[in-house]
């Protein structure tokens, strides 16, 4: 029984650790996709955020300034994407692909200049995003160990769950959210009602970059303490997958991210104990995602105007 609770605690801990950055990025992706702009540049924006977050935290010594700047770096690339796709009517896939090359390319070049290496210098404990409730529980008891594993988690994890609620509220309970969803369904109708579609989409793509940047910063400022070129490998794409999985809704994306995180957690525990091949175990999150899609989730309805540039009538 002790073993079970330990393993279970570790799985839940790993679930939260894996899900957090995905969730930030997925919320970002929701903003962009729901407003009608395909953003496959999430990966590049995360990389920019991951780098900027660690570097700023390293130089200022304050993790929160670093975290915020990570978001702003993501927002900068979000703005590039917005200028291309919203203002200039560029093909959204092409522009996103460009962001995925530019983001990592630029930050790794800067890393070379600053540190003469593609890796940044590891953060010290005080420069990392702090853990909440650490040391509150008595780890000598089974229950205490379990709680310590699950509840004593990084502040960024608590923040992201708060963010899911906020984003859900914004999407479904505010005027801004209604307009934002309408822009992704029928921009022409919005314009006739006096909504500035261009401004709405521009804002949403920037927000999307900001959240993706925060997600990236989470990766390098919590469990891992330095930026390396392989810090962000595919998380951006997984986040996009989670959004499609969640049918373009923030609470759906939450389930997608948690499922993925849980399978990754399972992978950590199984990888250590069972004799099954590591590489096969690593496949679990991806295989399970596909199976769950087929069995339970099914079709995901893409916002009607998603991917189509909106050209304002004169």
Partner 1 sequence: MTKKKGFLDFVSESTFIHILLSIILGFLVGAAFLAVMGLSVGAAYGRLLNSVTSLKGFSYVVVYSVPYIVAGLSVAFSFKTGVFNIGAEGQFVVGSMAAAVVGILCGSLPKPLLIPLCFLAAMAAGALWGIIVGFLKTKWGINEVLSMIMFNWIAFYLSNFIAGIPAIKSEGSAEATKNISSNASMLFSKDFIKSVGLCPTANWGILVAILVMLLVWFIIEKTTLGYELKAVGYNKFAAEYGGINVNRSILTALAISGALGGLAGALQLMGMGSRISIFSSQEGFGFAGIVVALIGVSNPFGVFIAGLFYGALMYGGSKLNLVGAPTQLINVIVGTVVFFIAISVIFRRLKFLKKAPKAPPKPPVSADKKEVQGT
Which residues of this protein are in contact with partner 1, per CB under 8 A?
A: 40, 80, 83-85, 88-91, 93-95, 97-106, 108-109, 112-113, 118, 187-188, 191, 230, 233-234, 237-238, 240-241, 244-245, 277, 279-280, 282-283, 286-287, 289-290, 293-294, 298-300, 302, 305, 308-314
Q: Which residue number, 89 or 144, has a Cβ lying nearer to partner 1?
A: 89
Least distance (Å) between residue 88 CB and partner 1:
5
Q: Which residue number, 65 or 302, has a Cβ lying nearer to partner 1?
A: 302
Query: What would the 3-class secondary structure string for the chain be?
Result: CHHHHHHHHHHHHHHHHHHHHHHHHHHHHHHHHHCCCCCCCHHHHHHHHHHHHHHHHHHHCCHHHHHHHHHHHHHHHHHHHHHHHHHCCCCHHHHHHHHHHHHHHHHHHHHHHHHCCCCCCCCCHHHCCCECCCCCCCCCCHHHHHHHHHCCCEHHHHHHHHHHHHHHHHHHHCHHHHHHHHHHHCHHHHHHCCCCHHHHHHHHHHHHHHHHHHHHHHHHHCCCCCCCCCCCCCHHHHHHHHHHHCCCCHHHHHHHHHHHHHHHHHHHHHHHHCCCCHHHHHCHHHHHHHHHHHHHHCCCCCCCCCCCCCCCCC
Rounded to 5 degrees, φ, ψ at 154 are -65, 150
Q: Which residue number, 125 or 294, has a Cβ lying nearer to partner 1?
A: 294
Least distance (Å) between residue 284 CB and partner 1:
9
The structure tokens 């909440």 sit at 132
Least distance (Å) between residue 138 CB and partner 1:
38
Least distance (Å) between residue 111 CB and partner 1:
9
Q: Which residue number, 141 or 277, has a Cβ lying nearer to partner 1?
A: 277
Least distance (Å) between residue 8 CB and partner 1:
25
Q: Which residue number, 142 or 302, has a Cβ lying nearer to partner 1?
A: 302
Least distance (Å) between residue 95 CB and partner 1:
4
Q: Which residue number, 2 or 277, has a Cβ lying nearer to partner 1?
A: 277
Least distance (Å) between residue 273 CB and partner 1:
19
Q: Which residue number, 34 or 129, has a Cβ lying nearer to partner 1?
A: 34
């Amino acid at each position: 029984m002790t073993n079970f609770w330990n393993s279970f605690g570790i799985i839940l801990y790993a679930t939260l650790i894996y899900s957090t950055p995905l969730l930030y990025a997925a919320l970002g992706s929701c903003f962009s996709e729901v407003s009608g702009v395909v953003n496959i540049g999430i990966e590049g924006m995360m990389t920019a955020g991951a780098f900027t977050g660690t570097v700023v935290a390293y130089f200022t010594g304050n993790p929160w300034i670093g975290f915020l700047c990570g978001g702003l770096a993501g927002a900068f690339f979000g703005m590039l994407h917005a200028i291309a796709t919203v203002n200039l009517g560029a093909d959204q896939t092409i522009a996103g692909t460009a962001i995925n090359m530019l983001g990592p390319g630029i930050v790794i070049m800067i890393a070379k200049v600053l540190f003469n290496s593609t890796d940044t210098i590891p953060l010290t404990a005080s420069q990392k995003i702090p853990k909440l409730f650490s040391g509150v529980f008595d780890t000598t008891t089974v229950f205490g160990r379990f709680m310590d594993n699950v509840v004593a988690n990084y502040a960024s994890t608590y923040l992201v769950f708060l963010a899911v609620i906020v984003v859900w509220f914004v999407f479904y309970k505010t005027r801004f959210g209604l307009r934002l969803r309408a822009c992704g369904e029928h921009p022409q109708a919005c314009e006739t009602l006096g909504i500035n579609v261009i401004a709405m989409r521009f804002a949403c793509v920037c927000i999307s970059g900001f959240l993706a940047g925060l997600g990236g910063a989470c990766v390098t400022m919590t469990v891992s303490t330095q930026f390396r070129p392989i810090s962000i490998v595919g998380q951006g794409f997984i986040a996009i997958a989670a959004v499609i999985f969640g049918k373009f809704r923030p609470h759906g994306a939450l389930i997608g991210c948690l499922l993925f995180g849980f399978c990754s957690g399972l992978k950590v525990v199984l990888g250590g104990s069972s004799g099954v091949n590591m590489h096969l175990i690593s496949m679990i999150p991806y295989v399970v995602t596909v199976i769950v899609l087929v069995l339970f989730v099914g079709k995901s309805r893409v916002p009607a105007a998603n991917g189509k540039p909106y050209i304002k009538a004169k």
